């Protein structure tokens, strides 16, 4: 019989272009969360290993997977502490593409074995309300696969950051009957303050899953320009309630995924059996 509950800890960091410092701080927070809350699953934010700098910096920092210091650190924590780790996202070098990388989540099991990876599908090519332009597709090649994995009897679906705005991805995950969706992010302060929580709650409600959105927080420098990320890492339950949220700053927050809540929500409003319009 699968477990009835699972504890999830979201690690909120403020990465920059110093990979060694980023990994040291991330590991300290992971081990603090393990000591304090004994989670089954640790989630890291998008680009926890390296963030900011120039396009050339990002390309130089990217490493093939498996391999590299960030991959090794996360694998070691998973194995040493017997926890699953959903490693936010890494800069994955593409052997045949010298100009772009993949923005890739890697998931490790309790023995430190890689069990899946997800490459971000939707590219953040926007101009924010303050006029700041973002062009992720200049340096990142989009992935194409919807990814689901199993964790102690719970099914987990994957997304990264800007993916949150595309309901069809989450409906595809709901079709696979996932119980939890994990979304590492580096949401901008401008968009995050208005959209982060409401989109997270909407995705939880429409999929009737737990939704764990793990964000970077604070200032970094992109091509020498200061950029702000929103943080406020949070977990919503399938009814759309925010059941845990991190404060401003670097830290972690923990919530419990409960099978009874999933089943109660899906029984009371059985939207999965009511859907009439094709979405893919």
Which residues carry out catalysis? Answer: 46, 120, 161
Q: CA geometry: angle at 277 spanning 276 and 280, to 5°?
A: 130
What is the Cα–Cα distance from 262 to 259, expressed in whole angstroms? Answer: 5
CA 150 – CA 272 distance, rounded (Å): 20
E strand or H helix at 97: none
Name 100's Cβ contacts closer than 8 Å, sequence gap at least 6: 94, 138, 139, 140, 141
Q: Are 143 and 118 in contact (CB under 8 A)?
A: yes
Q: Which residues pair with 116 in a beta bridge?
A: 107
Distances (CA, A) of 199 to 8, 27, 36: 20, 29, 29
Give the other-Cβ count within 10 Å of 201's Cβ.
Answer: 19
């Amino acid at each position: 019989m699968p477990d009835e509950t699972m504890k999830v800890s979201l690690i909120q960091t403020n990465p920059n272009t110093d990979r060694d410092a980023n990994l040291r701080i991330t590991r300290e927070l992971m081990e603090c969360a393990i000591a304090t809350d004994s989670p089954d699953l640790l989630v890291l934010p998008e680009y926890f290993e390296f963030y900011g700098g120039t396009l050339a910096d990002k390309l130089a920092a990217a490493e093939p997977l498996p391999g590299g210091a960030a991959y090794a650190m996360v694998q070691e924590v998973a194995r040493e502490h017997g926890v699953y780790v959903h490693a936010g996202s890494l800069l994955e070098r593409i052997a045949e593409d010298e100009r772009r990388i993949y923005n890739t989540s890697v998931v490790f099991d309790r023995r430190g074995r890689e069990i899946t990876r997800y490459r971000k599908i939707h590219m953040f090519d926007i101009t924010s309300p303050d006029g700041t332009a973002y062009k992720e597709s200049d340096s990142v090649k989009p992935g194409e696969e919807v990814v689901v994995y199993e964790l102690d009897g719970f099914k987990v679906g994957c997304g990264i950051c800007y993916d949150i705005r595309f309901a069809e991805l989450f409906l595809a995950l709901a079709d696979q009957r996932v119980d939890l969706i994990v979304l590492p992010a580096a949401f901008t302060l401008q968009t995050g303050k208005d959209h982060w929580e409401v989109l997270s709650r909407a995705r939880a409600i429409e999929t009737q899953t737990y939704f764990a959105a793990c964000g970077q927080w604070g200032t970094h420098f992109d091509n020498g320009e200061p950029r702000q990320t929103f943080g406020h890492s949070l977990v919503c339950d399938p009814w759309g309630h925010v059941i845990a949220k991190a404060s401003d700053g670097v830290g972690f927050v923990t919530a419990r995924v409960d099978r009874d809540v999933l089943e109660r929500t899906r029984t009371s409003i059985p939207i999965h059996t009511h859907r009439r319009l094709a979405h893919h």
